[in-house]
Amino acid sequence: MLNVGDTAPEICLLNGAGEEVKLSAFRGKKVVLYFYPKDNTPGCTRQACAFAGAYSRFKAADVAVIGISKDGVESHKKFAEKYGLPFILLADPELKAIKDYGVWQEKKLYGKPSMGVVRTTFIIDGEGKIAHIMPKVKPDTNAAEIIELLGI
């Protein structure tokens, strides 16, 4: 389990254009790293659109926003195009980062247990350390809570 103050595990995944993105490339700036279950589902779409609506505030404060799910590159590309998402979406079909960050957990749907991504947001400081962990976030309020937390 990761804790505040830990060094954020390195991430090296593909974005919607099929380009490799490394978390270490963002050293020197804050990063909002949010894990979500699935592209084009109601909650995940609301969360992504909330980040898109607030993106100018993140950009003005030089804060990178990165979303990660187990969906593939093509799914992310279509999701970003459909909703005009201006931030990075990374594909993690092998669950590498998802497991490294401890967000692959047992969930219950209609009382039935299954494994899945628990919607979680990490704020990483400019030195690559975890500054905040927001577990089980609500899709509609996550972006606004981060803006308030960061004072941007």
* Residues with active-site annotation: 44
86-109 burial, b if ≥16 CB within 10 A, otherwise e?
Answer: ebbbbbbeeeebbeebebbeeeee
Q: Which of 24, 26, 109, 100 is nearest to 68 (CA)?
A: 100
| DSSP per-residue string spanning 63-104 | EEEEEEES--HHHHHHHHHHHT--SEEEE-TT-HHHHHTT-E
CA distance linking residue 95 with residue 20, whole number of Å: 16
